[in-house]
Structures are given as C-alpha cells and as structure tokens.
Amino acid sequence: MTAPTSTGAGRPAPRRIGPFEVPAVGLGCMNLSHAYGVPPTPEAAERLLLTAVEEGVTHFDTAALYGFGTNEELVGRVLAGHRDRIVLASKCGMTGVDGKRVIDGRPETIRRTADEALARLRTDVIDVYYLHRLDRKVPVEESVGAMAELVTAGKVRALGMSEVSAVTLRRAHAVHPIAALQNEYSLWTRNPERGTLSATRELGVALVAFSPLARGFLTSAPPDFGALPAGDIRRSMPRFDADRYPANLTLRREVERIADDAGVTLAQLALAWVVSQEPHVVVIPGTRSVPHLRENLSVLDLAIPGEVLAAAGRVLNDGTVHGARYHEATLAEIDTERCGRAG
C-alpha cells in the first residue's frame, strides 16, 4: 500500500467566489438544523461551528429554508463575533411558510426575506446570496433583478444561483454577474458534467458542490435506511430505497477498497475527487461531528494520485448508480440537467 503524501504538496490553491478567496473545502450548515433526522443540540451545533472557525474554515453556507430560519439564527448567533473572518452565504427563493416548504421567487418576497435573513444572521451584509430554487412562475430575470437591487443597496455583495441549468445560469448572468452556482456534485451525482461545469468555467463562476459526500453515503458510516427517522429527506430518495440501496452499497464497498489501498478514508477520496475536477470547484460538505469535520478538511493536505481518483470515478458514476437523486415530484421542481439511471 502506498499512502499519498500529506505534507501539503497536494493542497489546492485558494478558489474564488466572486470577490472572495476561499479554501476548496467549506462548510454546509444545513444538517445542523434541517433535513437529516433529529438536529443536534444547540450546544453541539455551536461547538461544531466554532471548531470549524478554529480549523480554518472561512466559507459557511446556510439558507432561509434550513430549519425554517433557525439555521440562519444559529449561524448568526455563533459566528457574529467572527464575521470579519468568514465568507457568509445564504439563500432566498425557498422558505418555510406555515410549516411547509414553498418556492417563491417573486421580487417582493426576495426583498422581504433578505431583510429577515440579515436580522437572523446578525449582519448588515450577506457575502453571497443565492436564489435557492428557480420559481417556474417567475421569469429568472425578475428574480435576479430583485437580487441585483440588494447588491446596489449594499445588503448583498455577490449573487449566486442554485440547482439551475447552464441555460438558466446564462440568463441570470446576463442580468447581473453571478459569482457562484451551487449544484449537487459527487461521485454518484454528475449533473454538472452535462453543462454547468463548462458554463461556470466559461463565465468565471464558482461551482459550489453541495452533498459532495452523497448525503452521508460516502462516509465511514453510510445511512441505514431502515433506521432513518420519519422526517429524514433520504427516506424519499430513490437511491436509498429498499430496492436500490443494496446495489449502491455494493458499489460503495468497491470505492472503499480503492480508498483503503491508497491509504485514505472513503470521505477523503470522495471529496478529493470533486475538488480535483476543476480549479473553480468548491465543496461544502456538512457534518455534525468534529472528527468528521477535521477528516473533511484534511483533504486540503492530501495528494491523492490521479489514477486513484479516476478508478473511483469509474466504479461510481451516473451510469452505475441505481436510482435518481430525487423522486419525480421534486425533480419536476429542479432546473438542472438530468443524469443517472432510474433503475
């Protein structure tokens, strides 16, 4: 077994999101309040965020949707004292209304939710503000136009889009420069390779990859579908259902063997694969575990051989994974290019 060097020789150069320079690995804060079962205690969530700052994380990503505002409140309360050290990103256009998730990209809603986000985040400006979802009832030009007004007003520094196609990205970019496109990208989700990876490169837009660890699938403890709480979003995702998950676990074991032979963990291999795809790609893995946080950040100091990364990509990709990334009702809401087989 030949282990990769960990002297920093493989450390990726800082990456740009609009006017900001950030490490290739940031922190997605969603699962501290939302989506994956029971959230951690406030004390545990605070400890995770403060450790991230201590470990050099400078890019934190939240959204109005996460916990229906509670995640922005958490991030704002804990990180307010470190505001000048971090790049703070949040999202509008999809929020909780009367206990339900609502997509609303109307300009008046964007203006109102931006003010609400600023108050929850305890800041006078949001560094990167994304349109969380395209509202198909509202032309993207109108939504982005309202977001551009926020930049003019000094409430937002840079704009982003999330879960949109290359065509929609170009339309948005024509209204106001887009600094970042946040789409799902991992070994088992390759949608960006169908258009947005090249479009972001051409336009000078950062591709911010969410769920680079495949919603916990590519970690040391993959989800046990039968043990997932009722509110866990993975219960409705075809890749985790009883008919497809066993076949995906077989693929996972093959990738884990590749990682073991290279002397790295599965999560390190999975993150390094995404980071290695293009120099404008940034990953924002989420975690509730301090050890896992440090494991994720250690990728910045690993030099994993290209042939190892390529081998992992051959085993797990959009042609080998079983099941779509969302069920059909959710896919209908999302503007990204599709890939992956349904079976």
What does the domain layout of the chain look like in residue ranges?
21-331
| Structure-token match 């676990």, residue found | 249
Q: Are 207 and 233 in contact (CB under 8 A)?
A: no
pLDDT given for residue 5 in this prediction: 32
Instruction: Provide the 8-state DSSP code for 339.
Output: -
Task: Check 66, 130, 185, 245 and give the catalytic one.
Answer: 66
Number of Cβ within 10 Å of residue 283's Cβ equals: 29
- Which residues in the chain show pLDDT less than 50? 1-9
pLDDT given for residue 341 in this prediction: 56
Say whether pTM exceeds 0.75. yes
170 vs 175: CA distance, rounded Å: 9
pLDDT given for residue 3 in this prediction: 34
pLDDT given for residue 293 in this prediction: 98
Could you give the maximum distance between any two Cα atoms of the chain, in Å? 59
Q: What is the distance of C-alpha 277 from the center of its chain? A: 16
Q: In this structure, what are the phi and psi dihedrals at residue 89, rounded to the nearest 5 degrees?
A: -120, 140
234 vs 215: CA distance, rounded Å: 8
pLDDT given for residue 93 in this prediction: 97
List the Cα angle 21/7/308 in 5-degree steps. Answer: 90
163 vs 132: CA distance, rounded Å: 7
Give yes or no: 185 in active site.
Answer: no
Nearest to 248 by CA among 268, 234, 262, 230: 234
Q: What would the pLDDT profile of 250-271 be if each residue is shown by its tens digit?
A: 999 999 999 999 999 999 999 9
pLDDT given for residue 112 in this prediction: 97
Query: Which superfamily, per CATH, for 21-331?
Result: NADP-dependent oxidoreductase domain (3.20.20.100)
Nearest to 137 by CA among 171, 102, 111: 102
